[in-house]
Amino acid sequence: MKKLIREIPLANGLTVRFFDATRRYFGDYHQVRINICCEVPLSADLFEDAAAHRDAAKLLGGSVSYSKDIEHQGVATDDIPGTVEKVIQHFVDHSLSYLSGSEFPRKLVQSELKRILGKRKAFVVGGYRG
Q: How many CB atoms lie within 10 A of CB 88?
A: 20
Q: What is the four-CA torsion angle of 38, 40, 46, 47, rounded to 10 degrees?
A: 120
Q: What are phi and psi of 107, to 5 degrees?
A: -65, -40
Q: What are phi and psi of 127, to 5 degrees?
A: 55, -170
Share of the chain above pLDDT 90, in %: 86
Q: How do residues 75-118 score in pLDDT, each as one tens digit?
A: 999 999 999 999 999 999 999 999 999 999 999 999 999 999 88
Task: Using pLDDT thresholds of 50, 70 and 90, give the confidence band for residue 1.
Answer: confident
